[in-house]
Amino acid sequence: MSRFFSQKYKNLKAYTPGEQPRDMQYIKLNTNESPYPPSPAVAEAVAREAKKLALYSDPECTELVAEAARVFGVGADRILMTNGSDEILNFAFMAFCDKEHPVVFPDITYGFYPVFAELNGIPYEKIPLKDDFSIDAADYIGIHKNIVIANPNAPTGLTLSLTEIERIVASNPDNIVVIDEAYVDFGGESAIPLTDKYENLLVTQTFSKSRSMAGARLGFGIGAPSLIADLQTIKYSTNPYNVNRMTAAAGAAALRENDYYMENCKRIVETREYTKNALEALGFFVTDSKANFLFAGSDRIDGDTLYRELKKRGVLVRHFSTEPIAQFNRITVGTKEQMDVFLAKTKEILKETAQNENR
């Protein structure tokens, strides 16, 4: 830290993104990217826009918003596009939370929420999950605080039903509820239809997972026009051209080919269930994930050991060393071929570990 760094950030612990190593070719099952490429129309749109890079992008993302309005069945005035969904989440913390309006979220969830809170000087509270790693909706009923819930949650993959979400939103009418639906396309139920009815609900989604665009950085929020207007104020006060022109064109092209992406999601769901069954057969406890990742742990091997041994063998998964999930790994669902390699390596590691113990 330099002597110039603002004192207000002196305790800030930045978010640690999943590793993106360059030392060798890994089977990357650690950052929940899609194993499938974007549709060819997306690459064509990017190439077309690249020729116009001398010009600023459209700050309103008019074409992209129009496509999203069509796909999600909401008015254009209910949508804000951002640089990844991390940005809309940060905007929401900035716009709706402060010392008088603290925020709560589950203790085990997306690790960026406490960072956004600390960055913006917002008091926050973590509500423990139940022993089975699920969120207890009852903990959030009528608590009169702003709430952020990932649904499906990360890294557990577990979901709340739309009825439970609605009860949480309806019982906190004077607070904002953000539902982070980064993984909703893999089997969750979207709360977007509820945004018509509740002015305190903001739903966020991303093109990073189900739409194969993690490297393009595109996310968005859907909510009441008044909420979107507040978020626009934050956007225009930080970075009006937050979505670059290639990404905006790529996003619009992706939405025009929505069926291709939803078909990929189906394949990922099938591969997820196949991998889950295989892990259970190896004695792993695996949560009932509705996301594009599995969350698995076993008494037969320490979570960190499995992560390190897989890495040595060219397979990257994500391990969190925090309790109570240190025994677990989060495994992104890749192609069936990638998951077969992951399973074969896991079997090999389990066998070696058992042999070492018997020595």
| Phi, psi for 122 (deg, rounded to 5) | -105, 125
Binding mask 94-123 for ligand PMP (x = CB under 6 A): ----------------x-------------
Does 33 engage in binding with ligand PMP (CB under 6 A)?
no
Amino acid at 229: A
Using the minimum distance from each CB to ligand PMP, give the nearer residue, 85 or 329.
Answer: 85
Residue nearest to ligand PMP (CB): 84
Binder of ligand PMP out of 34, 39, 72, 84 (CB under 6 A): 84
Cβ proximity to ligand PMP: between 182 and 286 the closer is: 182
Among 33, 67, 86, 309, binds ligand PMP (CB under 6 A): 86
**180 lies in the site for ligand PMP, by CB under 6 A:** yes
When asked if residue 185 is in the footprint of ligand PMP (CB under 6 A), the reply is no
Select from 5-13, 68-76, 78-86, 125-133 the region that touches ligand PMP (CB under 6 A): 78-86
Q: Does 182 bind ligand PMP (CB under 6 A)?
A: yes
Can residue 247 be called a binding residue for ligand PMP (CB under 6 A)?
Answer: no
Residues of this chain that bind ligand PMP (CB under 6 A): 84-86, 110, 150, 154, 180, 182, 206, 208, 214, 219
